[in-house]
Structure 1
């Protein structure tokens, strides 16, 4: 079951840290996994780009320069998503016995709370693949599809060895399809990729450039903002698959670098409130 956890962290001292903390946060989460399940950590470490885990940049408002300021007066939120049944066990363990303190980026962080409840944090939640698909097919029966996605951290794609920042329907939903089929027990048909490329168009958008500095100091250009996609031809089954992928984006992220915080996304179309209620599968966390 895809699960999104939000850690509320408070730095124990004032410090200057890299503005792009996604990579060091990911390394810390991998150490946390290794402490409880070394074999799982080893498999995740050697996995390709389609890893069943994402880790956000914990800085809610990173500075525009290379460094940001953290202090005990302001807590930060670290988001971790887990996409397979194997990794879901980690969520249950962390919710049952949260670590008291974490260390990364040269800072000690007190763990104030971990939640998987959508009512507690709009970026938390959990939903089964089966339920995502059932709800998506029900929505698709109502008529022509329309999907608005919000890109909250830079989204880009690797295409022919280059970085492609434009969120075309084929790249967006092709990325989601690849990750769904790598993690879900029931894969979606490859015809979804053709449908996205030939039948979906961007109807309106409000996008801006987002830049994340790589570990080699090279700027990685992506997009932030919102984009609405509509279907020119309505196929209830394929539109249902697109709807499922749009909702899945909340957990999987979109494009390259999701394991270190890039591509954080969510569907914000008119049905989003119902989707948020559906994500709240944890009665208490």
Structure 2
């Protein structure tokens, strides 16, 4: 059952900009996990392959402009007492179950640390909210059952920089195989409802308005794309295949695509109506 949880946070002191990078937020998530299950926290820390969670960068506002971009880089500290939110997506049923006690017993007065800053978790959202579209949950069976078996248009927003591994290097240019191949691998790994790899053949890009963005930390520079992109299902395709493709597209909000999703990259959303093209 994929869960997209939004943690509302309140820093008690300024958060230095150097601690707002993906690696520090990744470390904070592992600290949260270890607080209720140290063995699980250690196991997630050592995991080198596809990970069963995805994180967002820390956000200081709701982003409602047309491309739905999130903020992934800060040049100044986040001031004390600035309301923030942070999305944690869990793809594995067992991972959510292990952390249930954490979500149910959050003490708003207990401080969590991001650099020198103390953070209070004031609330956790796990169901859809009119003001917070990143909070949601569903079973994999529901994602599949509720997917359209007739919709041939798929509109995506790349909300944080997104890149894909090709051979030994990263590629910031999305394609059908990189976007839907990433979704298909994660779906097949966690859903228990496997789809065939040939499913992707009738999908073709139909519109794109994307640009490259750079994310730098002390160790490396990551180049990814942000913006909007549409795909269409073309040709004589049966209803079951259309339904499976739409299920993958609906799953994108939980899984993200491409590289460094546990570090806040590759956040992607599907839109039920066509995105603005102006």
| TM-score, length-scaled by structure 1 | 0.85
Match of 1:223 among 210, 222, 225: 225
- Residue 116 of structure 2 is aligned to residue 106 of structure 1: yes
The counterpart of 1:263, out of the listed 261, 266, 270, is 266
Unaligned runs of 5+ in 1: 273-285
Q: Which position in structure 2 is the counterpart of 1:235?
A: 238
1:57 aligns with 2:57: yes
CA distance in 1, matches of 2:217, 2:194: 32
Alignment of 1:87-236 (within 5 A): 87-90=95-98, 92-99=100-107, 100-119=110-129, 121-136=132-147, 139-140=148-149, 142=150, 145-192=152-199, 196=200, 198-216=201-219, 218-233=220-235, 234-236=237-239
Distance in structure 2 (CA, Å) of the matches to 1:108 and 1:150: 33
Counterpart Cα distance in 1 of 2:52 and 2:186: 8
Query: Size of the alignment, in residue pairs?
Result: 262
1:76-121 deviation digits (Å, cap 9, x = unpaired): 1111011111111155323311143211133111111111121262
- Deviation per residue, 1:228-247 (Å, 9 max, x gap): 10011223222222111111
Consecutive unaligned residues of structure 2, counting only runs of 5 or more, are 61-69
Cα RMSD of the aligned pairs, angstroms, is: 2.2
The corresponding residue for 1:281 is: none
Rounded to whole Å, the distance in 2 between the matches of 1:269 and 1:4 is 18
The aligned counterpart of 2:38 is 38
Deviation at 1:16, TM superposition (A): 2.7
2:206 and 2:77 mapped to 1: Cα distance? 39
Range that drifts further, 71-80 or 92-101: 92-101
Q: In structure 1, what is the equivalent of residue 87 of structure 2?
A: 79
Note the C-alpha offset of 1:19: 7.2
CA 1:271 to 1:43, structure 2 compared with 1: closer, same or farther past 3 Å? farther
Is residue 10–residue 112 contact of structure 1 (8 Å, CA) maintained in 2?
Answer: yes
Deviations 1:166-216 (A, max 9, x none): 111111000011111122222222222xxx2x3221111221222222551
